Amino acid sequence: MPIRPGVPPTGPERSRRSTAAFRAWGFEYKSNLIWHKIRKDGGSDGRGVGFYFRNVTEMVLFGIRGKNARTLPPGRRQVNLIASRKREHSRKPDEQYELIESCSWGPYLELFGRGLRDNWTVWGNQAEAAYEPDWPTYSHNSATVPV
C-alpha cells in the first residue's frame, strides 16, 4: 500500500509513512508502546539483525478512530513499556493485548498480526486461527518446531 511511491520505508520516513497510513485509514495516531525484548535473565536480547544498532526494542503504534475515545482510567497510569521475551520472528508480544484492552475501549484492530484473538480484528497474511510457526524458533515459545 504505497503512501508515497518511490521512497523506501526506512528510518524516519518509515515512521512518517506509518502515521500517514493511520490518517488514510481514518485513525488518529495517539502514542506508542515500546517493546523491550529481554533474555531469560532479564537483560536486553541483542540477537537478530541490526544494521546500525543491535535492536532490542520495537514500537507498537497506538491510534484511535472516532470521537470521545478517551483512554480508560488504567491507561492514565500505564507506562508505555512492555519488557518480555521474543517469540518467533516479527510476532508482537502477547502482553500487549491485555494492556491495550485494559486501557482502551474496543473494538480492537491489529495490523500485520499472526494468528487470531477473541474480540480483535486481525489483518495480515498469517491472521488465521490455525497459525503456528512452521520454522525453528525460540524454545520458550508456546508452539515450537524442533530444529
Helix (H, G, I), strand (E, B) or coil at 73: helix
H or E segment and range at residue 22: helix 11-24
pLDDT at residue 102 in the model:
94
Number of neighbouring beta carbons within 10 Å of residue 97 = 16
Does residue 100 lie within any of the structural domains? yes
Does residue 118 lie within any of the structural domains? yes
Could you list the mean pLDDT of each consecutive 10-residue stretch along the chain, which spans 147 residues? 48 67 87 92 85 86 86 92 86 89 90 87 85 70 44
Q: Is beta strand 28-37 parallel, antiparallel or unpaired with respect to 81-84?
A: parallel
CATH of the domain at 98: 3.40.50.150
Does residue 2 lie within any of the structural domains? no
- Which residues face 126 on adjacent strands? 114
Does residue 39 lie within any of the structural domains? yes
H or E segment and range at residue 11: helix 11-24
The residue type at 36: H
pLDDT at residue 144 in the model:
41
Q: How many domains does the chain have?
A: 1
Residue pair 85/138 in contact by the 8 Å Cβ criterion: yes
**What's the DSSP call for residue 98?**
H
Question: Would you state the cell numbers that stand for residue 17, as one nine-digit string?
Answer: 509513512
Does residue 128 lie within any of the structural domains? no
Does residue 94 lie within any of the structural domains? yes
Residue 47's domain comprises: 11-123
- Which residues face 121 on adjacent strands? 109
pTM over 0.95: no
pLDDT at residue 13 in the model:
57
